[in-house]
Amino acid sequence: MLENRRILLIVAGGIAAVKVPDLIRRLRERGAHVRCILTNGGAQFVTPLTLAALSGDKCYQDLFDLKDESEMGHIRLSREADIILVAPATADIMAKMVAGMADDLATTALLATDKPVMIAPSMNVMMWTHPATQSNLQILKTREVKVVGPSAGDLACGEVGNGRMAEVPEIIAALTRFFQKNDGRGPLTGYKALVTSGPTLEPIDPVRYIANRSSGKQGHAVATALAELGASVTLVSGPTHEADPDGVAVIHVETARQMMKACSEALPAAIVVCAAAVADWSVEGAGQKLKKGDKTPALKFTENPDILATLSQPGPGRPGLVVGFAAETENLIENAKLKRAKKNCDWVVANDVSTGSGAFGGDSNTVHLVTADGVESWPTLRKRAVAERLAERIAAYVQRHL
């Protein structure tokens, strides 16, 4: 998918710029044409000669280079590309993109382009989590800027957390998925997928509720990964702090019964992935707030609808592939196999959510894929990578069986 694609690569001033030479090399191995713009900050980490030698083209730096302006021009430079990739994308250049600034060649090209833009953020964890940066990120997403990464881990500053630029294979995979989807050639193009995500909240009274620790990160990542492979995705989500994924129809619910209703109305679908942590029981709630008294109030529980089992029922209209998730604290594989048989779903993704696993609310997951053919144990991966691997497996299954 990258053969003969024209990529304008903007290299901003971050330590992750040292990964750029390898990125250029891998892109060219796949047949892409790469042209580079190097900012003054980026030039502190990598030389224009290096980028020119690896890309096989001139490395552009100066907005007011009259020779370049007469031969190329910043407008032509930005518009002759199929996509503009900013890697690394620093907090500074993201802020300038939001503000529409054009004080150097890189920002001028970004402002003058009519082509898709993808950024690979890289910065200190405090800079990444700062409200200003997160606000800028959301604004860029509303402008359809594609985002790959960042990932969590050790940072060059010595701190640990989100802010590492996505690795080269991740960036190449994101570019590949973009062009597949843009060309209508993704392996899941023409297929409809339904994904559930997050927790459900079951009210006790108008103030209190029963819930669980699900963050929705894994389910949202699955919805994103399926959409990037071309699927038309509906995401039914319980309350989370996760942003709605780009290119996905999102239905927000609170209770298990609301989620069941939304899923039923979203059918038919070829693919269903039930990643939500649905509460097994609801409470016969009180109309008013329960007051503290001499006696502890007794809660009466009612069993909630079993969404996974309902969607897996044999018969006309059953989705071609139903995938459930099993969040367990003991006997992980055994319980996942039992769940697959009991619910009549095709696959179960099992993960350990016991104390200390870091699965609930964390950015990484260690899963086991349970199918009719056996059990695949995957290494610990970022949830985004888990979702991408699962989506690729789903696409392969769909191509063979649906």
Any idea which residues carry the catalytic annotation?
Answer: 157
* CB-based contact 281:304 (threshold 8 Å): yes
Q: Which helix (H) or strand (E) holds 125?
A: helix 125-129
Tell me if 230 sits within 8 A of 185, measured CB to CB: yes
CA dist., res. 239 & res. 243, Å (int): 11
How far apart are alpha carbons 55 and 33 in whole angstroms?
8
CB 347 within 8 A of CB 319: no
> What is the rounded CA–CA span in Å between residue 254 and residue 264?
16
* Cβ(181)–Cβ(260) below 8 Å: no
Give the β-pairing of 347-352 and 367-371: antiparallel
* The two structure tokens encoding residue 382: 């970022």
Q: Are 163 and 123 in contact (CB under 8 A)?
A: yes
- 323 by DSSP, 3-state: which? strand
CB 189 within 8 A of CB 271: no
Residue 224: in which H helix or E strand, if any?
helix 217-228
Residues 6+ apart with CB under 8 A from 206: 286, 287, 288, 289
Give how far Cα 26 sits from Cα of 13, 54, 285, Å. Answer: 21, 10, 58
Q: Where are the alpha helices (DSSP H) in 56-100?
A: 66-71, 74-79, 91-99
CB 123 within 8 A of CB 24: no
Q: What are the DSSP E strand ranges found in 155-279?
A: 160-164, 192-197, 202-203, 209-210, 232-237, 249-252, 271-274
d(CA 186, CA 201): 36
Backbone phi and psi for residue 11, each to the nearest 5 degrees, phi listed first: -105, 110
Grouping H, G, I as helix, E, B as strand and the rest as coil, residue 364 is strand
**Cα gap 84→113, rounded to integer Å:** 9
Find out whether 180 and 186 touch, Cβ atoms under 8 Å.
yes
